């Protein structure tokens, strides 16, 4: 079965873009808390920890893109319906 993170299609802008951004940020925050609880890490775990942080940074950048795309699509009333 293909890895869903690798094989996922790029997010399309639309009413759900803001919701996907919120879900992404929530997941990143959960991961950051778990990572922070393990800090400081021993030197032999530094590279693996840095790779996790790099991945989380990429996810936040994707969430920023979703927010921008949603704004370009026009304002919504909070339910995803255009005003």
What is the rounded distance in angstroms from the CA atom of residue 83 to the CA atom of residue 77? 6
pTM assigned to the model: 0.65
What is the rounded distance in angstroms from the CA atom of residue 66 to the CA atom of residue 72? 10
Confidence at residue 69, expressed as pLDDT on a 0 to 100 scale: 87
* pLDDT at residue 6 greater than cutoff 60: no
Place of tokens 């996922």: 8
Helices 46-72 and 17-38 cross at an angle (nearest 10°) of 160
What is the rounded distance in angstroms from the CA atom of residue 71 to the CA atom of residue 67? 6
Across the range 67-81, mean pLDDT stands at 68
Contact 76, 27 (CB under 8 A): no
């Amino acid at each position: 079965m293909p890895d869903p993170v690798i094989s996922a299609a790029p997010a399309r802008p639309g009413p759900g873009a803001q919701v996907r951004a919120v879900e992404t940020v929530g997941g990143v925050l959960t991961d950051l808390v778990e990572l922070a609880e393990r800090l400081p890490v021993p030197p032999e775990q530094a590279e693996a920890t840095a790779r996790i942080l790099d991945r989380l940074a990429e996810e936040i950048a994707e969430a920023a893109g979703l927010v921008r795309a949603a704004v370009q699509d026009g304002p919504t009333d909070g339910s995803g319906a255009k005003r």
